[in-house]
Structure 1
Amino acid sequence: MTSINFNSSASAALQTLNTINKSLEQTQNSVSSGYKVSKASDNVAYWSISTTMNSDNKALNAASDALGVGAAKVDTAYAAMESAIDVVNEIKSKLVTATETSTDKDQIQLEIDKLQEQLSSIAQGASFSGENWMVSGDQTVGTVVDGFVRADDAVSVTTATYDIPTYALFDSVDAGVGTGGILGDVMDIDLTTIASNDDIAELLTTVETALATMTIGGGALGALTTRIDLQTDYASKLSGAIEEGVSRLVDADMEEESAKLSALQTQQQLAIQSLSIANSSSQNIMRLFQ
């Protein structure tokens, strides 16, 4: 039966066309944006996961940037420690030379004075972004950011530390002269006041003690550098893994979307033709009254 009040064929064809148009719109959005999940309504679960992971990845990248700052601080401190060890070794060699009774100890002391001044200069210059690990001052520990961790619903930034008071070359540097710290006793060396080689031997012991502590401090800085390098590599790999995981959840398969787009465009054309045919069927009724 044909009704002039309701065209069931046209209604069915229209519903089909609307469905196809909706699918075509979604596919076109995927093709243009590159995402199959670009908003929460596309897939709540995947959108939620990707949003959280993208946020964490940004924090991880920020932590990686902070690692670079930390590496620079450690490298600055290590360069100062290494240079100071070389200078103290020079002082050691001067003391050994002074054990020869025929040497002019006053002249050797002049050289030691310059080396002591260099030690103060090295420590004072070992500053990065206003932070100096070679002069302890009021500092307790040096810290560098080395990671970002998510555990359940909590997030945290992890840090590595360096014991500044134990390994600082000086406690303070006033008027260009360092005092206290590892090198405090080395700065007090004065050959003009000694009377025998036994006194020089005591000074050599002082220098050896300082060198031993400096070596440990340099080792601690080296270990911290290794820690930072390892964490930097890990952060890079972790960031890549997160990006890949998020991509699998929300990125569109462009080959698949391209094939789907072509198919939907064909279906749309056919649906339009079907709707046109369905609408024309009611016009045929007019011929019955001619």
Structure 2
Amino acid sequence: MAVVINTNYSATVASNNLAVSNNMLQRSLNRLSSGSKIVNPSDDAGGLAVATKLSAAARRQGATASNIGNSVSFLQTQDGALKVASKVLDRMSELKTLYNDPTKSPSDLANYDSEFTELQTQLTDINGETFNSVALFGSADLTVSVTEDGGTSVTVQGRDFTNSTSGVGALTGTGATSLAAVTLSDITTAIENVATFRAQNGAEQSHLGFAAELLTVNKANLEAATSRITDVDVAEESTQLARWNILVQSGTAMLSQANQSAQSALRLIS
């Protein structure tokens, strides 16, 4: 091999190797300090694109689950109102039975009518209840999305509480001014209607509950898939860190040796 001064090939190779080792060392340090395998888009451009979409989908899953939770709270509030309505109707049926007692005096009957009128007012008040300014009762349905892409939804049926046939309207209408103006059949029908409302409410709560559970599972799986793409394996990367750290140290030492090798030419001309 020729002995030259102007070009130190060994030092050039050692310098290049040192630069590569140093870059890899910095890369490992960045990954371990950030906890992510993709510190720069160039680390895994395709993986970054997939992870971004999966992460956004997971966040939408969480938001959808929150919306479902609000809808369940709406139904629970509605059921609470229906539960009270059921108690009111039970009392009305009791009053009607007592009213039919032939031994009651006119003043007794008037007292029963007075309580009946107050209970009618209570049923009207229940019909006006709201949840976050949204009416609990009415004919309009609520559509609740149960998937993050909005492709699947659950319909919360509108419950017309004061409907004369499917609600309690027969007891709150203008014709039902006293216990004498209503029949026991009117009251028992209203009780059955409220029971049906509660059964439908419970079915919708069950449906939404399972939908929320599915969203929770899907969100966890999406987060796990994103983790496999972006999260650094600390055990593996720490091993690489040790490797590149040693190579940087050895490369630095070898570059120092290579820089000194050209000094042998000086001995030939000294």
1:278 Cα shift?
0.9
Q: How does 1:110-259 map to 2 (within 5 A)?
A: 110-124=114-128, 126-134=129-137, 136=138, 140-148=140-148, 155-156=149-150, 158-164=152-158, 167-170=159-162, 182-187=167-172, 188-191=175-178, 193=180, 203-259=183-239
1:118 is aligned with what amino acid?
Answer: Q
Give the direction of change, closer, same or farther, for the CA distance of 1:140–1:192 in structure 2 (3 Å limit). closer
1:65 corresponds in structure 2 to 66
Q: State the Cα deviation string for residues 111-160 of structure 1 (Å, max 9, x = none).
A: 11111111112222x211111122x2xx5212334331xxxxxx325432
Distance 1:89 1:146 in 2: 37
The number of residues matched between the two structures is 264
1:289 Cα shift?
0.9
2:113 corresponds in structure 1 to 109
Distance 1:193 1:217 in 2: 27
1:26 corresponds in structure 2 to 27
Q: Is the 8 A contact 2:61 2:219 kept in 1?
A: yes
Q: Is the 8 A contact 1:105 1:191 kept in 2?
A: no
Distance 2:3 2:246 in 1: 29
Q: Is the 8 A contact 1:77 1:132 kept in 2?
A: no
1:59 is aligned with what amino acid?
Answer: R
1:192 Cα shift?
6.2
Q: Is the 8 A contact 1:133 1:142 kept in 2?
A: no
1:32 Cα shift?
0.5
1:16 Cα shift?
0.8
The secondary structure found in structure 2 opposite 1:11 is helix
The secondary structure found in structure 1 opposite 2:69 is helix
The secondary structure found in structure 1 opposite 2:252 is helix
TM-score under structure 1 length normalisation: 0.85
Distance 2:40 2:145 in 1: 34
2:259 is aligned with what amino acid?
Answer: N
Distance 2:122 2:144 in 1: 28
Distance 1:106 1:244 in 2: 70
RMSD: 2.0
The secondary structure found in structure 2 opposite 1:169 is coil
User: Which structure's residues are more often strand, by fraction?
Assistant: 1
1:2 Cα shift?
2.0
TM-score under structure 2 length normalisation: 0.90
1:34 Cα shift?
0.4
2:250 corresponds in structure 1 to 270
Distance 2:198 2:146 in 1: 19
The secondary structure found in structure 1 opposite 2:262 is helix
Show structure 2 runs of 5+ residues with no match.
none
The secondary structure found in structure 2 opposite 1:143 is strand
1:176 corresponds in structure 2 to none
1:265 Cα shift?
0.9
